[in-house]
Structure 1
């Protein structure tokens, strides 16, 4: 029999141990990462055990009448053990829907982890979403370079790389995020937005995950021209943040930066991920931003968001 438990701080260690062993877990679901902003969310996470061993966990928070998987994270999804069966996942889904419905919640919002971030195939939840009549309400387009058979940069991008090389630009890995955060903040001001993380937050997360969160910059005679914060998801490297100064944009420093990363530190990865180019819950495509990623060899994957009506919960028979 599968047993459902609500997460408490007493589960901190065994939650993290399971995430590391799960077939689709990434470090974003480690409690050292999740809990840096726990004061902003009402945790509603669940654990599922079979024969006294965890077979699945659900990172989740409650907001109003909805359960989200998870508002504070890029992705949600059930994290699954390597041994869990499709039938067990259907049972887990039935249990979690019944649990949240009994508590009075009306909707479950589920953000599917892209398959390229999974260590092993983990599509059992997609089948469960279909069986429980989930509605696809949002789809974002994201760009990824397949490094094992990567496409060439466009002619313009190749020229930018050459220009930076001839100018003496150099790639650096840095531990101090302050200068880049100033550049990032300035770059985002024109869009009237701010980085999701404050400087002290990203510094804390970097201290917890020094091998997973790294800052790379391009400098010319010590002048900061561009930079990116990379999240290492195992088989894929993801650009969490990118920014360039006016001088960096003029010389094409970001193109040089990406070229250096995919031919250097991350050449052994399967994928290099740029993130989404959509707005307004996927209904508006930022064609200019997407074109820049495509000129670097990026091609599309989609990030899907689903809703399930919890009133009443559905049986899967």
Structure 2
């Protein structure tokens, strides 16, 4: 195996992500590089007999390498033919390469299995063999469409109430209106801001048709919205926002049920994202319960740490 630093070989990198077992558009350099100025990139490319077999999106943070601090997940992106034995060797050589570069630890955020096109957990085994430890776990609620649990009665009632109120749902590109709702919603409820600015989201949506906005309207005014990241295996709710009118009418319930049972019913999984905070140690039980009412249960997001002596 040969480890080569990424040096703007964008086409080669993106082709690898596109044909890999576990890559998503989140790891496409056109997506990753929108915030390149915030991170010291140290992504790596792994070759075997002159052929690219894996890539590792990563950034340097002091004496640590993180895969990846600017993304929900990172991890080793693997070609179809790169099996367990090869991956074990890759991580052994990666450890030596990082140590020689002055790195003291690797923080690794593997891609959850629901995003895999083909099973791809060799990295977890290889890291276990090297002594990596889990340092964070987040609860994420996921619906497996083939075995979805029944919609809770309360959600059914809210959806019916929205229909009676005349709520309508449609795909939109009105990010300006939605961002006003979302920003106010996050500020009021969590004293927080969206991870992306309005301009960043508009930019990314213009580049990636997989990023889609759906709005719920009441009297022709948007009252709730969802930004969906449409991955190959998963429809993921990147942002969810609503105002008081949506709360009173059940507009968000109607919108989400429309997305789950109609727009993205063909996807194997529908994912709501994390319901944890405080580095995963605290569970927002009410938020998790609301998501579970739509027929989902827990999958996890995890962080691993491999320290180098």
Q: 1:147 aligns with which of 128, 145, 148?
A: 145
Compute the TM-score of the two structures, normalised by the length of structure 1.
0.96
| Secondary structure in structure 2 of the residue aligned to 1:264 | helix
Gaps of 5+ in 1: 312-317
| Displacement after TM superposition at 1:246 (Å) | 0.8
Distance 2:247 2:69 in 1: 33
Distance 1:132 1:232 in 2: 34
Distance 1:148 1:164 in 2: 26
Q: 1:229 aligns with which of 210, 227, 230?
A: 227
Instruction: Determine the structure 1 residue equivalent to 2:297.
Output: 299
Distance 1:232 1:78 in 2: 21
Instruction: Determine the structure 2 residue equivalent to 1:22.
Output: 20
Count of residues paired in the alignment:
308
Compute the TM-score of the two structures, normalised by the length of structure 2.
0.98
| Displacement after TM superposition at 1:297 (Å) | 1.1
Once the two structures are overlaid, the 10-residue window that deviates more, 234-243 or 48-57, is: 48-57
Distance 1:53 1:175 in 2: 41
Distance 1:147 1:84 in 2: 29
The superposition leaves residues 100-130 of structure 1 with CA deviations (integer Å, 9 ceiling, x where unpaired) of: 1111111100001110100000010011011
What root-mean-square deviation, in Å, do the aligned CA atoms of Structure 1 and Structure 2 show? 0.9
| Displacement after TM superposition at 1:167 (Å) | 1.6
Kept after mapping to 2: 8 A contact 1:98/1:310: no
| Residue correspondence of structure 1 range 167-316 to structure 2 within 5 A | 167-190=165-188, 191-210=190-209, 212-311=210-309
Distance 1:264 1:157 in 2: 16
Instruction: Determine the structure 1 residue equivalent to 2:39.
Output: 41
Kept after mapping to 2: 8 A contact 1:178/1:199: yes
| Displacement after TM superposition at 1:252 (Å) | 1.5
| Displacement after TM superposition at 1:149 (Å) | 2.0
Dislocated runs of 4+, deviation >6 Å: none
Instruction: Determine the structure 1 residue equivalent to 2:48.
Output: 50
